[in-house]
Structure 1
Amino acid sequence: MINNPITQLEQLTITSAAKSFLKETAKWAKFLSIMGFILIGLMLVFAIFSTTIFELAAQMQPNIPKGLGATMTATYLVLSVVYFFPVYYLLQFSMKMKKALATKSDETLTKSFEMLKSHYKFIGVFTIITLSLYALLFVAAAFGAL
């Protein structure tokens, strides 16, 4: 009988050392997700007050564009929404991993890894988009400088 790799993976067991590592990883993931939500909250507070702040600054300094406050509000609102998803996935990973280790549930363990995959996939796609925008700006700047 030929060993099917999928069948071999289904027999995977978590050692006590691996369980300890996963438990500690879940704790750090929870800490980082809580910090992420705090930063999202701060971005939202800044978004709310940025219009007022930049309008006052424009009154004091004539070289500050008048629409900058609205632009900053929109920017921080968009960044808050974008940043929410990887932080949420990280929190879900943490909570589901802790539950999976406590209940020894394979289904919950699978869901926790699904959340971790979603977190890293989001971060990866966002990184690709960011690098692409940087490359586009670099090319535009190079042609603009000619």
Structure 2
Amino acid sequence: MENIEENNPEENTSAHQEAEMETLIITEDIRSYIYESAKWSKFLSIVGFVLTGFMVLVAFSAGAIISTMNSMVGEANNPYAKLGGGALTVIMLLFALLYFYPSLLLFKYSSAAKKAVLFGDQPNLAVAMSKMKSFFKFWGILTIVGLGFYLLIILFAVIANISASVAA
């Protein structure tokens, strides 16, 4: 028994056209751009890892730094003395972690992008673009949070100024 299917030529051409529209063509120029951006992102990620390491070293030295500052200028004149070494260590470690994450994303992007370009590997290109998206999303959210803090500081400054002028 034969399996007879009716093929509608219009359906086949529209499906073929959709597949062509979804296909992304990566030219040699685009490959070179991706490869060059991968090299720069690897450099930036390594610099980020080194700076993160320095931040961790400074964080664990915070107690010694605070006590040295106290002996030099006196505890009353040191604004960080009230925080203490432990609190400063935690704050510095949080900043180090905040700096480490985008460096890690850049490193993962770099590795995947180089593999994608060198071997024509579509899954690695997808991973690379995913890491790049996460990198920019992270910095975008961090920028929004920073702008929000600036807005709150300006708002509190305006309110403090108004209340000081009303009280006077």
TM-score by length of 1: 0.90
The CA RMSD measured in Å over matched residues stands at 1.6
The equivalent residue for 2:55 is: 43
DSSP-derived class of the 2:155 partner: helix
Are positions 1:28 and 2:27 aligned together?
A: no
> Deviation per CA, 1:110-143, whole angstroms, max 9, x where unpaired?
1110000000000000000011011111111221
Question: For structure 1, which runs of at least 5 residues remain unmatched after alignment?
Answer: none
Q: 2:142 aligns with which of 122, 126, 131?
A: 126
Q: Distance in 2 between matches of 1:27 and 1:107?
A: 19
Amino acid at match of 1:67: K
Output the CA distance in 1 between the equivalents of 2:144 and 2:71: 39
- Which residue number corresponds to residue 82 of structure 2? 67
Tell me the matched-pair count: 144
Relative to the length of structure 2, the TM-score reads 0.79
The aligned amino acid for 1:34 is: I
Structure 1 residue matching 2:61: 3-state secondary structure: helix
Is structure 2 residue 125 aligned with structure 1 residue 117?
A: no
Distance 2:82 2:21 in 1: 61
Cα distance in 1 for partners of 2:20, 2:152 equals 46
- 1:44-63 C-alpha deviation (Å, 9 max, x unpaired): 11101122111121122121
Q: CA deviation at 1:7?
A: 5.2
Q: Which amino acid aligns with 1:145?
A: N
Letter matched to residue 17 of structure 1: D
Q: Greater shift after overlay, 49-58 or 28-37?
A: 49-58
Kindly name which structure, 1 or 2, has the bigger radius of gyration based on alpha carbons: 2
